[in-house]
Amino acid sequence: MLTLARLKELWGEPVHQTLSDLSQDLGQVCTDTRELSVGNFFVPLEGANFDGHSFLEEAFSLGAQATIISSKNKFFVPDNFLHWVVEDTLKAYQQLASLYRIDLGIPVISITGSVGKTTTREFVRAALQPLGEPLSTTSNNNNDVGVPLTLFKANASHSVVILEMGMRGLGEIERLSLCAKPDIAIITNIGSAHIGRLGSRENIAKAKCEITSALRSDGLVVIPAGDYLLEETLKRNWSGRVLRVAIIDSMSHQISNEAIDMHNVEADITGVYISMTSELMVNGVNFNLPFPGRHNAINFMFAIAMAREFGIPFQALKNLDVKMLEGRNSSLIIGQITILDETYNSSPEAVEASLDLLQGYSGRHFAVLGTMLELGEESISLHRKIAQKVIRLGLDGLLIIAPAPEANAMLVAANGLPCLHLVSGPEEAFEILAPLLKPGDVVLLKASRAIGLERMLPLLKAKFDDSFT
């Protein structure tokens, strides 16, 4: 049991320590007074437009038994409110979560990568169900605040904690690793997401490999086989056990992972991907992928790796039931039109994977593609590369929602398509696309979250539901 007295290990002696029994349980850690109950431990976080210290009086009146307070705090602290003074409440929040995690004593799996983090997280969660109920990251709680929040939700009834770790710059995943002290780390890939912030794929690889910063010395790192940049970067951070996964295309018998540089592939677990289907075969076991596509096959291999690590028979994973957030790996039938809803977010590797998936469907193929953000100086060339792939795949139409430089590059690269339009937003995209659609057509919707491409969905439903009956 984590007691108030244990917090002396982190921050020394508290203020008003004589007013409380420090041998009692820490209580639930809470950062929001709207969710606070009697006996909770209150953490006042600070942001650009808020300061949790302004709620200290409210937290005390609601029955919080203790809190931490920034040394720079300018708000009133109620008399007799047991507290520790710290330099940074966010850092202290993470330290507290780390202490809680150690006391909890159940396995922690951390997952990062440029794309596929959330899908892999959900695959792993489903695969480990035979161990008992896992706890995993929900929504976008994969950052400095979300990782400790998830850890504090864990208890002894959970079999394992699965933490997604995102980043927007160097040092962030290192902080998250120090907080979570994982037993296993999964790095799904090294891509181009956030290259505008980090400057190069080398820096992206460095940031992702920070996940090993506090990995147990006898822990495990799981990576895709054959990524030379990832392998070389990982060597500088980790000297422990590494497990590599790969898929082989059933048609070519070649390792299939277009997003990585192929060098000396040596996989510990190899799956055979049955092209144009949702099937994967590993060690003689046929799996039905929860979602179609080669990119989902490699994500599923990480779940297979976790099953092997925890001694779960592969047969238990044959037909996993996996639920995803709206806008991720979602296929909708509207009337007689198939909509691939990938509106949640976008990056170069994710768009390429979605275009490959689109091409695998029968019928005419259309794509509505929006801006890929945070690509910096690489933005124009990466947007151009996507348009070039659209041409290679022979799509029937492309609608672009992007700023002028990126849009112009895509228009030039995709010149010659039967249907090619630059539009101002989702509504205009619908107005142009809707009259062109026929039964059997397939439409991919893919853009960064800020574009709001999901606004096309109700318009398409209103237009085409039952319209071809």
**For the chain, which residues make up each domain, given as ranges?**
4-87, 105-317, 330-464
Residues whose CB falls within 8 Å of the CB of residue 365, separated by 6 or more in sequence, listed in order: 358, 359, 393, 394, 395, 396, 397, 441, 442, 444
Q: pLDDT higher for 98 or 24?
A: 98
Work out the percent of the chain whose per-residue pLDDT is above 70.
94
Of 70-79, 136-145, 254-263, 288-297, give the lowest mean pLDDT range.
254-263
Q: Output the CA–CA distances (angstroms, integers) from residue 134 to 157, 219, 332, 466, in the order listed.
A: 9, 19, 29, 40
pLDDT of residue 91: 97
What does pLDDT average to over the chain? Answer: 92
User: Do 70 and 77 form a contact (C-beta atoms < 8 A)?
Assistant: no
pLDDT of residue 369: 97
pLDDT of residue 198: 87
Of 162-176, 247-261, 283-297, 349-363, give the lowest mean pLDDT range.
247-261
Q: Is the pLDDT reported for residue 361 higher than 80?
A: yes
| pLDDT confidence tier of residue 468, bands split at 50, 70 and 90 | low
pLDDT of residue 261: 39
pLDDT of residue 258: 40
Q: Is the pLDDT reported for residue 250 higher than 70?
A: no
Residue 263 φ/ψ, nearest 5 degrees = -145, 120
pLDDT digits (tens, 9 = 90+) for 29-40: 999 999 999 999
Distance, in Å, from the CA atom of 121 to the CA atom of 206, rounded to the nearest integer, reads 21
Distance, in Å, from the CA atom of 292 to the CA atom of 278, rounded to the nearest integer, reads 5
User: Do 215 and 240 form a contact (C-beta atoms < 8 A)?
Assistant: yes
| pLDDT confidence tier of residue 230, bands split at 50, 70 and 90 | very high
How many CB atoms lie under 10 A from the CB of residue 197? Answer: 16
Three-class secondary structure of residue 404 per DSSP: helix
CATH placement of domain 4-87: 3.40.1390.10
pLDDT digits (tens, 9 = 90+) for 251-292: 544 444 443 333 445 789 999 988 666 899 999 999 999 998
Domain 330-464 CATH superfamily: Mur ligase, C-terminal domain (3.90.190.20)
What tokens were used for 162?
A: 């699965």
- For tokens 């228009």, what's the residue? 411
pLDDT digits (tens, 9 = 90+) for 178-205: 999 999 999 999 988 888 888 899 999 9
What tokens were used for 407?
A: 């849009």
Domain 105-317 CATH superfamily: Mur-like, catalytic domain (3.40.1190.10)
The whole-number average pLDDT for the span 32-55 is 95
| pLDDT confidence tier of residue 147, bands split at 50, 70 and 90 | very high
How many CB atoms lie under 10 A from the CB of residue 1? Answer: 8
CB-neighbour burial class of residue 284 (10 A; exposed 0-12, middle 13-18, buried 19+): exposed
The whole-number average pLDDT for the span 136-158 is 95
Q: Output the CA–CA distances (angstroms, integers) from residue 102 to 98, 106, 107, 181, in the order listed.
A: 6, 8, 10, 8
Of 23-27, 88-92, 142-146, 405-409, give the lowest mean pLDDT range.
23-27
Distance, in Å, from the CA atom of 269 to the CA atom of 252, rounded to the nearest integer, reads 18
